[in-house]
Amino acid sequence: MSQASTIRGQEILNNPVRNKETAFTMTERQSLGLEGLLPPTVENIDRQLERVQTQLAAKPNDLERYIYLMNLAARNETLFYHTLMSDPARFVPIVYDPTVADACLAFGHIYRGSAGMYLTRDMKGRFKKILRNWPAKDVRFICVSTGGRILGLGDIGANGMGIPIGKLQLYTACAGVPPEALLPVLLDIGTTNAALRADPLYLGLRELPPDEAEVDLISDAFIEAATDVFPGVCIHFEDWKGTDAMRLLARYRDKVLCYNDDIQGTAAIAVAGLTTALQIKNETFADQRVLFLGAGSAGIGIASMIVSAMVEAGLGEAEARERIVLIDVNGLIETSRTDLNEWQKPFAHEAKPTKDLLEVVRTFKPTILIGVSTIGGAFTEEVVREMAKLNERPVIFPLSNPTNKAECTAEQAYTWTKGKALYAAGVQFPDFEYQGKSYHPGQANNFYIFPAIGLAVYATRPARITDDMFITAAAATADQVGPSAREHGMLFPLQANILETEVTTATRVAEHIFDSGQATVERPENIRAWIEGLLYKPVYKEL
């Protein structure tokens, strides 16, 4: 007898996968023991959506809307995804960036129930046993975070669980990956955040994180357990401390199916936006000089992928690196510094030490300015005007989030460059009108990339994930921005059509996986139609 046929009455109403609430038919109510447990009216899912929208409209702010939607997900998964997929441009910013930042800061205070798994460092020898407690057995993706570097918020430990939950919800809402294949995990190794450790409502370990050697041992134990309990699972690393992120990606990428979205996904969406911007300028990557404010895992990841794009455009690797300059909290990445990590060193050039961004802009003369510093307002009016003086169409990407961490706003960039900037931020700024022309600022958000990668991997089951897959995804994303959109400064596809966009990108990535011999399933005659047949659809099933 199937699980569906054994669940009855209140038990089925408490099961978010099976629950239809007022959409149960009269026949189902009789056969499943639901009579009397529901109001007498039978509704379809679109009428239920009306009620959701009405209740959301009554909420005072997006954090309250986030809480409502998370409660809906815990109560009725199908209606939750039907809501998100009905208007992704409206709902993705609520369930993910930027609202998820506020949700993470308050996570212990707004906690309503578990939506994933919490593994602590003291469970290291029992990870396999504990992972088997998860009810789904065919888990295909685990998004795992330590909470060590959440958005621009720093180390927030177990409060970071909102990120794996939200990331995996976007796999489904943006790319149709079935939710039963997804598992959010918070790997709690402690936190450096003393205020959180002192908060009586904090839900994580009240300990400092261990040293790197112990982090590696904990990570090794987790990878071994996850790949044993869920064979073929893809590990999506998310928001680990920067040095941990770089080190562990290098440690595992050639051994297991894994990727780091902060490094590879961020790099791919940045390259996608830059590709569109350069098409507008009728230039190539070989023509560019790129300046970064920020040299952590995101900055190094983007810089490395730009090197690949420059090499593809005809430059040698050494020449490409010469065209990229980075500044971190301690100043310019240059050869006299003794504090550089192994990933920063290849980008160190002979130069005078300085912490002055404007000075570097004037001496290096970049065509592209990228911010991954989490320093709100760091791209000052003087800096942006200097970029406009140097370039007819300056490319300005303040990618830090949440909103208050953006290095400059869209309004500032367009105003200070007299409408010439090609602009994308890490968050969505509102449309802006300058001298009679309307501009639609781009949002270089990874949700254009990682759900599509997830869908392609879900379909093709490769043994490894390579940077080439992300470069393919970046090109596919850029190709979906039409001429009229570019006229209004748009560097990314419309979010309203996100499922169509992601399926198109996933199809291109899947084609690459098949062409490169990395797929472990038989190649179908029509890849797009095959992928479309795998998509999750938020419709009620007959019980």
| Cα–Cα dist 70/516, whole Å | 40
Measured CA to CA in angstroms, residue 128 lies from 116, 121, 160, 226, 256 at distances of: 15, 13, 23, 7, 17
Q: Would strands 437-439 and 432-434 be described as parallel, antiparallel, or unpaired?
A: antiparallel
Measured CA to CA in angstroms, residue 64 lies from 87, 115, 409 at distances of: 18, 18, 25
| Burial class for 380, CB neighbours closer than 10 Å (0-12, 13-18, 19+) | middle
Is 96 one of the annotated active-site residues of the chain? yes
Could you tell me the two tokens for 339? 């504090």
Three-state DSSP class for residue 481: coil
Where are the extended beta strands (E) located within 323-476? 324-328, 331-332, 368-371, 395-398, 422-425, 432-434, 437-439, 442-443
Which among 20, 66, 81, 167 is annotated as catalytic? 167
CB atoms within 10 A of CB 160: 29
| Burial class for 44, CB neighbours closer than 10 Å (0-12, 13-18, 19+) | exposed
Is 389 one of the annotated active-site residues of the chain? no
Rounded-to-10 torsion of CA 97, 98, 101, 103: -90
Maximum pairwise Cα distance, the chain? 79
Could you tell me the two tokens for 255? 């051994």
Rounded-to-10 torsion of CA 267, 270, 275, 276: 150
Supply φ then ψ for residue 20, to 5 degrees: -115, -5
Could you tell me the two tokens for 29? 């109510």
Which among 96, 202, 458, 536 is annotated as catalytic? 96
Three-state DSSP class for residue 403: helix
**CA dihedral sign, ordered 322, 324, 325, 326:** negative
Catalytic (active-site) positions: 96, 167
